[in-house]
Chains A and B, each alone.
Chain A
């Protein structure tokens, strides 16, 4: 397949259109603005609609409406804008509609900064909106994966009738890499019985929280999210079988961690990596088949507090200690990760969880 050199954000946007996305509403915010810019001309070119919304609150609401009409719909944001999306995300989940949301993470709390970072793990993975719902959360670690996961996201959103979150980050969104893209696909919004199109002589539709219309709602919704948890774990394991220290990292941090595994192994250090691709469900199934010599996990994250560590400890059922290398707004370097792994082996690190 032909490969092109593209920015992560643009590859993601183009792949969304090729997956059949025909409605996009968004608001400018760094470092995701390339997606809004790209979609502003590309979605109309493909026969769809683009709206630059007055706010993220309005943008996600437009996506809610478009999704209810049966169209493959998407928005993207970052930082404080991602916070504003959560009102609508909760509604879309409660109405059991498919939609794709992209958060190109930056660093910091409040206004924070436009720097690279991985500060939204908790908000994205644990549920940033009100209520009792989950999002399938997918984290790309390359430009190619940004394109691949967005197509998967649209399919999974429709399969489970729930929004899917792509948790990208500034580095993955801004870097340029070769990428191959699939052919342009259409999408028929009338293929669904549930899509709003006017009742056309049939029963009228009511798109709202599905809890109002099911007597078995509690069991039903639990079973649905259990099904996602069971079926949608995705991850990549690198040299974990004999590893004495296994790093756990996603997105940009996992790129560095993978290089650290190579460097460490060259120096005779038995390092491994688990790279979660799905953050919810967290890939618990990856946490098996380890060596008796495994001394612990080292989470590598671009946050200050270490947002993923607890999930690592739970996935491992706390059989091993969990340490953290937290690089805040700096992309870690592989040599430092190797040195940190040595400190784990030397018993010099304090447990993070």
Chain B
């Protein structure tokens, strides 16, 4: 077994709960930025929620956006500094509830930046409330009898929505449930960053991620839950690649 040394960008231990997927995703992103040699010229835009925990432990320039506005903040930075790598990092509530307008319009304008979206199906930091991504029937602290889709809508599949915009160049959904999935996810993140550097346009990567704390499951059971249930609703894979390079 090959042990890879932790990226030097991860300057401190992360602050996420045991079994949380953010730690793996942080590591993948750090490895991508390291391997591409762009960490010194990268600016991250952190969402409100668990995503904001990383700005002290992940050693790149960061800005803490208002809740839901990360892509708008990223737009302001990228327009001013087009030679920098600008990426936003958001969770469910931030990206698809309060920030849906910013998510859609940043894609609609085709900003040349990278959006990372961590889908764990709940509002994590506030204690596991229902999110737009919550599965039908899933119990959360604001859907105690299970999500009723007749009153709260169906799980939000953002990739399907964004795929309708011509300006969107790359869409992928990864998992962090096994080694193969983790490696594929790293590849998606890498492509999304490469697209930006090459000026190919807007890229968005969704990552299915466990939240054992708010799901009330063990870390291992959480992994099983993603494989057996979450990934059925949100199928992993490259959804769209409209870059010239792909053609």
Contacts and interface: CB of A to CB of B under 8 A. Distances in A.
Tell me whether chain B's interface is mostly helix, strand or loop, or mixed: helix
Given A205-B62, A207-B62, A200 B40 contact: yes
Contacts of A48: 80
Given A198-B41, A198-B42, A198-B43, A204 B61 contact: yes
Interface string B50-78: 00100110011111111001001111110
Interface in B69-112: 69, 72-77, 79-81, 84-85, 101-102, 104-105, 109
B45 interface: yes
A189 B73 contact: no
B77 A61 contact: no
A132 B81 CA distance: 31
Nearest to A209: B64
Contacts of A70: 80
A205 to B, nearest CB: 5
Contacts, number: 137
Q: How large is the interface on A (under 10, 10 to 19, 20 to 34, 35 or more residues)?
A: 35 or more
Nearest to A23: B80
Contacts of A73: 76, 80
Contact of A49 (B39, B45, B55, B80): B80
A54 B72 CA distance: 9
Given A57-B69, A197-B84, A201-B40, A65 B77 contact: yes
Nearest to A202: B40
B55 A53 contact: no
The 3 A-B residue pairs with the shortest CB-CB distance in the complex, in nearest-first order: A65-B76, A62-B76, A208-B64
Interface of A: 22-23, 25, 48-49, 51, 53-55, 57-59, 61-71, 73, 87-88, 91, 95, 189, 196-201, 204-209
Interface of B: 11, 39-43, 45, 52, 55-56, 59-66, 69, 72-77, 79-81, 84-85, 101-102, 104-105, 109
